Amino acid sequence: MQDSTLKFKGGQFIFEFDEFIQLKDVDKEVIITPLLKSKPKISANKKSLTIAIPDSLLLPKTTYNISLGSAVQDLRESNVFKGFHFTFSTGSYFDSLFLKGVVFDAETGQPDTSSLVMLYLSQAGDSAIFQTKPLYVQKKNQGHFEFKKFTE
C-alpha cells in the first residue's frame, strides 16, 4: 500500500487490509492534521477502510497527515492495527518540517501519557488555546510525540 500521495484535490482514500475489519472510537482515535473544518466521512466495509474528504475541507498547497490510532481492529479477535500513518498533499511537494520530543509530568518526573500535544500558529498569541483550534494535534506514545511533514 502506498503511504503518501501528492496533488490530492479531494475525494476518497481506500485502504485495503488482509483481514475483515471493524472501527472503534473513530472520533477519538483518527487524527487528521492540520485539523479540517469538519470531520470527513470514515467507514469500513469488509477488508477496506474509506476516508472521504471533500475538496471544500482542504487548504491549498498543504501537507496533511492521517493517523488511525487504535480505530481499526480485525473483526474476529479485535486485534488493533496500530501505527498506521498516511501523508497526502494538496500541492506538488510535501512539507518537510519535523519536531519530536518527550512530555514529562512535572510532579512525578515520569513521561506523561494522558495529554495531547498541540501546535498553533505563532501569530495566535498567548491566548491561542482559548480562541483558536490547533493546526496539529498528536496523542503521545509513552510521553513521546513526533510531528512529521508540517509547515512553518
**Measured between alpha carbons, how far is 119 from 135 in angstroms, rounded to an integer?**
6
- pTM (two decimals): 0.81
Q: Same structural domain for residues 102 and 79?
A: no
Q: Give how many domains the chain has, as a whole number.
A: 2
Rounded to a whole number of angstroms, the distance between the first and last alpha carbons of the chain is 29
- ∠ CA(66), CA(9), CA(99), 5° rounding? 35
Q: Does residue 121 have a pLDDT over 90? A: no
Mean pLDDT is highest, among 52-61, 93-102, 113-122, for 52-61
Q: Is 105 within 8 Å of 112 (Cβ atoms)?
A: yes
Per-residue pLDDT tens digits for 13-44 = 999 999 999 999 999 899 999 989 899 999 99
Q: Same structural domain for residues 8 and 21?
A: yes
Per-residue pLDDT tens digits for 67-84 = 998 999 999 998 998 878
Q: Does residue 2 have a pLDDT over 80? A: no
Q: Same structural domain for residues 69 and 143?
A: no
Q: CB burial class (10 A; 0-12, 13-18, 19+) of residue 145? A: buried
CATH number of 89's domain: 2.60.40.3710
User: Which one, of 29, 18, 130, lies nearest residue 75 by Cα?
Assistant: 18
Q: Same structural domain for residues 120 and 72?
A: no
Q: Same structural domain for residues 103 and 84?
A: no
The strands making up 63-67's β-sheet, listed across from edge to edge, are 4-5, 85-89, 63-67, 31-33
Lowest pLDDT segment from 24-33, 51-60, 110-119, 131-140:
131-140
Q: Same structural domain for residues 82 and 109?
A: no
> Phi then psi for 19, rounded to 5 degrees?
-135, 160
Boundary-marking domain end, from 70, 93, 116: 93
